Structure 1
Amino acid sequence: MDLANTVAHNLKYQHSWNDVEVVKVGDWHLCKGTPPKLLHPEDAEKTVEYVLPSRTEGKWTVSQWSQVFSAINAVNGSPCRRVIMAMATSDGTIVYYFVNNGIVRPRKN
């Protein structure tokens, strides 16, 4: 099973995401789906999220991230404010990180 399908399987069966599918966006295979609940306290509503599968050995540059956001924007027709990076380790563990498009103000306590 390739990495994108492994991450899609994890999102669907471990994290209960809905409508999970692997889509080709630009040069990347991303997972797309809707989480069962809000992922961040400041989210107003549940929306479709994009997840970028990657290995922990991968090295990402700001330029590459810019290309990912631009490719998603071209597909969506609207700005994408964040992508979730799925970091897969050699032992099969998948850890998820938010990557925001631009600077995000810190949360209010």
Structure 2
Amino acid sequence: MTRTEHMKPAVLPSPLSSLIKDEALRSQPSHLPSLHSLAIQIQHNLQYQHEWSDLQIHTRSSFTNELLPRPLLSGLPPQRLYIHPDEQIELLKDADRARKARGEEEGGTLDVKAAPEREWILPARLSEKWTLRRLAEVFDAIAVVPPQPESEDMEEDRAANPWRTTKRVILATADTDSTVVYYIVQDGMVKPRQN
């Protein structure tokens, strides 16, 4: 009698584990392998769960070409993540003028559109302790807007959007069960949003 019915089936690696292993073989990460694999995990989550595009991993500062404190990502979300309060007022005024120009009545809805902007993403683990000093090290190494995918050169440290004047990162916090929570963290004092 064979004992095949009592044997455990072979365990296949998950697609994410395979992706991390393949990336590790292809590239020579300059950070700890755990930080590099975390960046790949967050990249995978953003691309396939949240429909981000133009994602890339950055290991060096676009200013000094020195090693970043840890790998960062940049990418384009499917919609705008943050609208400055003053920009929000201008967008509402523009939408109201457009509605009046079309001859619609006052009670109709306003069609407010804000184009998505490239964002920095800071991969982190839930168990990590973040201090203002550690966040400041990250902000000191980045530009206001991430560089475009085709050029790592960031000669201009300003956004195409005149309202985007402070640096911000999306803190992507991954837990041990692979859930990821995203927070917007801005450098310095920021005017509160209006509801």
TM-score calculated relative to the size of structure 2 = 0.51
* Offset of residue 45 of structure 1: 3.7
Q: Which residue in the other structure is 1:35 paired with?
A: 77
1:7 counterpart = 2:35: no
Which secondary structure does the structure 1 equivalent of 2:141 belong to? helix
The structure carrying a bigger strand percent of its residues is 1
The structure carrying a bigger helix percent of its residues is 2
* Offset of residue 96 of structure 1: 0.3
Identical columns (%): 39
Q: Which residue in the other structure is 1:97 paired with?
A: 183
Q: State the alpha-carbon separation in 2 of the partners of residues 6 and 15 from structure 1.
A: 13
Q: State the alpha-carbon separation in 2 of the partners of residues 105 and 45 from structure 1.
A: 21
Which secondary structure does the structure 1 equivalent of 2:78 belong to? coil
| Structure 1 residue identity aligned to 2:187 | N
Give a deviation string over 1:39-79, Cα, whole Å, max 9, x none: 12437542211101000000111111111011013974516
Q: State the alpha-carbon separation in 2 of the partners of residues 40 and 22 from structure 1.
A: 22
Q: Which runs of 5+ in 2 are unaligned?
A: 1-19, 21-36, 61-67, 88-113, 145-152, 159-165
Q: Which residue in the other structure is 1:46 paired with?
A: 116
Q: State the alpha-carbon separation in 2 of the partners of residues 34 and 19 from structure 1.
A: 6
Q: State the alpha-carbon separation in 2 of the partners of residues 37 and 23 from structure 1.
A: 22
TM-score calculated relative to the size of structure 1 = 0.89
Q: State the alpha-carbon separation in 2 of the partners of residues 11 and 61 from structure 1.
A: 25
Q: State the alpha-carbon separation in 1 of the partners of residues 78 and 56 from structure 2.
A: 15
Q: State the alpha-carbon separation in 1 of the partners of residues 115 and 132 from structure 2.
A: 28
Q: Which runs of 5+ in 1 are unaligned?
A: none
User: If you compute each CA radius of gyration, which structure gives the higher value, 1 or 2?
Assistant: 2
Q: State the alpha-carbon separation in 2 of the partners of residues 107 and 32 from structure 1.
A: 24
Which secondary structure does the structure 2 equivalent of 1:63 belong to? helix
| Structure 2 residue identity aligned to 1:97 | Y
Number of aligned residue pairs: 109
